[in-house]
Structure 1
């Protein structure tokens, strides 16, 4: 039995607030686990060289789980897809706890792969904020959900200390406590979405549009279809490219910055400070980015983001190994540039296709972004090892310039009615 459709504005307000709550809880869970993932992997495997596999499997899991989650949302709505993704992430955290306690490295990698589903939920939630948003406010609605990630990202790493106390009470190894907070955060996020994300925004948007779906039965949320639609829709292709390139540039530089700083004997506290400021740059001003997107359109904001990314890469490339004001400024600007391309590009992806195709296209866009970032992060280590940090930053800047060229050369006939 279908639920009655409330006034779209009131439903939209409740939707955004609910998503912000789930993003905060999920963000705490994600950041708590990531904070200890590499250390736990090194301890369990007994080899520092394998420490990066925890993060790699989590990133790959986040990208690959986009496929089933998009299909689930396409058929049953946002609530079912997002809540299920958090539950899978909670299972992954539970397996990571078990692996930490038993020393089973293979189980840890299985756990971190499933843990990646939580990042799928965190990422896909931004699109749920746009389902019922009017086009002229789409950027702002999306950006508030992105902004809520700031809270979890800041609180999460600080749960390592309390996690040790919790682990002690449960008879677990000290670092396993962080995974306990991850599991709890994901479960609470799933419950919050299941209880409060009603009526479902995607299903409501379909009913208001006058048709449950624009797709053949059973293919709603099919990522393969989404990839074909993106390839055949210039606006969606550009927006997906903007989100992907901005994300790859950010990831490539960000993941190698701690190593660059350690080569200069920077203290771990200073490395943590720089990364924290970078994360603040990513999410802290997202509402401003969203408002600029609604007022100016996505194209100028993406170009602004490219300019910030290039400047960030330049400052980072010129910095000496270790801690410096220039590097810190570069990492903050790197986060701000990412915010511009991510918010403006995501808002355009959300509005570039009919409502029945959204789950497929949005899932496909995030799959491309996630897989490309995983490859980019891996290649970043190779480039830095062979050529150095400065060359890595230069290559990242060139990728951003390529996005600018693509954006500038897009013809006016490719403009969409959603403010591109």
Structure 2
């Protein structure tokens, strides 16, 4: 009798999901500082250590490559050992990567430094899935807000990373920035402690639909990926994140080429990062009110407007306005696309479906970051902006078409 009375119908069905979302937001703030540190000073360290100036940005490119290459192995680890144990293992990559990078600076070893940033990229592949982990215990009504809360931790990461660099850059005498990577390793260690508080529910196995193979892992991955909803969600994610990386990478270089001070370019990126994550505090509520497709479409339109402004002039106001709109557009588009992906798989299919989505999205981000500088050098800032419109048009048409289909679907 006493036990039954303790369970009331007013129990919040999302209580565990809300708790996990805050744990993951804290881990995101710490883990998200990992790429922020590498991106902000990786090129400078590369310039100090590389045998040729043309190789200076290789450490940053290897961070993105490691992130994309690590997604499938990370999914396999989490599938085998669970979310929490997988994230603890992933955090160890951050500790090892930061430590190797710090030692490489002390020893003046460029190859070793590249290995450190590559391992830091592997750590990033675990951090990127925090947003999906927040939905594991969530009801369908709370999923978008759970994703939004986790990505809000990226705002703290965007502030924390640069501040860590400023306060630790000269911590090791005679080895500029070695202290910054030691701090990167320490943040990863703290993130391990935070993520140990994650509590994920057991994965239920749903009854297979007629024609589906009755396996514990759900439908084959190909079946999941060939769903029109999955294709549309992944396309929106690729375009939102890929174009953000494409334009963001080129923008500071374009500003410097136009004769604007380096400090102006750096401040523009700071405003961009703020715009990327600050809307996360309310994006989930907007999705609840207006729908996933609507907010995703608005994000894509904002990225298009950003490119239009980029084509309209070369003043500080043009660049900064374009970068701010690009950040907000990414937030709406990427959170919306992530929420759309969560509608395409069953609970027992989540690990492989999420891994497939992230492998495609972040593989595209790696390609975009590699190609942005070359296209800027070949065709200038204008061609970079013009190339944004075709993929935006395709993604927008697909998302709007899905919204129309959902609206006219039988209840």
TM-score normalized with structure 2 length:
0.90
Counterparts of 1:46 and 1:319, CA distance in 2: 37
Q: Deviations over 1:148-186 (max 9, x none)?
A: 111011121122221134323xxx612111101110111
Matched, 1:179 2:181: yes
State the partner residue of 2:80.
75
Which residue matches 1:246?
A: 240
**Structure 1, residues 227-267: CA drift from partner, whole Å, max 9, x if none?**
x2443222122111111111111111100111101112222
Q: Aligned partners of 1:105 and 1:25: how far apart in 2?
A: 26
Per-residue deviation, 1:370: 0.9
- 1:350-387 deviation digits (Å, cap 9, x = unpaired): 23210011111111111101111111222222221221
Give the structure 1 partner of residue 32 of structure 2.
27
Offset at residue 43 of structure 1 (A): 0.7
1:287 — aligned with what?
281
After superposition, the C-alpha distances for 1:82-111 in whole angstroms (9 at most, x for unaligned) are 221121122111111121111222111111
The reply on whether 1:355 has 2:355 as its aligned counterpart is no
Alignment partner of 1:122 is 2:127: yes
8 Å contact kept, 1:299–1:407: yes
Where do residues 17-416 of structure 1 align in structure 2 (5 Å cutoff)?
Answer: 17-168=22-173, 173-194=175-196, 196-198=197-199, 201=200, 204-207=201-204, 216=215, 226=221, 228-320=222-314, 324-410=316-402
Instruction: Give 1 or 2: higher helix fraction.
Output: 1
> Which residue of 1 is the match for residue 8 of structure 2?
none
CA drift of 1:7 comes to 7.5
For residue 265 of structure 1, give the secondary structure of its aligned residue in structure 2: coil
CA contact (8 A) 2:293 2:403 kept: no
Pick which of 25-34 and 255-264 moved more: 25-34
Q: Distance in 1 between matches of 2:336 and 2:169?
A: 40
Distance 1:187 1:8, change over 3 A: farther
Please tell me whether the aligned partners of residues 293 and 402 of structure 2 are also in contact (alpha carbons under 8 angstroms). Answer: no
- Cα gap change, 1:28 to 1:377, in 2 (>3 Å): closer
Alpha-carbon contact 2:18-2:146 (below 8 Å) kept: no
RMSD over aligned Cα atoms: 2.6
The 3 A distance-change label for structure 1 pair 229 and 91 is farther
Change (3 A) 1:58 1:370: same
- CA distance in 2 between counterparts of 1:133 and 1:127 reads 10
- Mapped to 2, the partners of 1:188 and 1:345 lie a distance apart of 30
CA contact (8 A) 1:42 1:48 kept: yes
Instruction: Determine the C-alpha separation between the residues in 2 that align with 1:385 and 1:165.
Output: 33
In the superposition, the TM-score normalised over structure 1's length comes to: 0.88
TM-superposed CA distance for 1:122, in Å, is: 2.2
- Say if 1:86 and 1:117, in contact at 8 Å, map to a contact too: no
Q: SS where residue 328 of structure 2 aligns?
A: helix
Structure 2: stretches of 5+ with no match in the other structure: 1-10
Task: Give the conservation status (yes or no) of the 8 Å contact 1:97–1:180.
Answer: yes
Confirm or deny: 8 A CA contact 1:384 1:392 kept in the other structure: yes
Secondary structure of the structure 2 residue equivalent to 1:351: coil
1:99–1:105 CA contact under 8 A, matched in 2: yes
- The C-alpha deviation readout for 1:294-325, integer Å capped at 9, x for no partner, is 222211111101110100011112222xx511
Q: Distance in 1 between matches of 2:143 and 2:12?
A: 17
Alignment partners' CA distance in 2, 1:415 and 1:133 = 24
Q: How many residues align?
A: 397
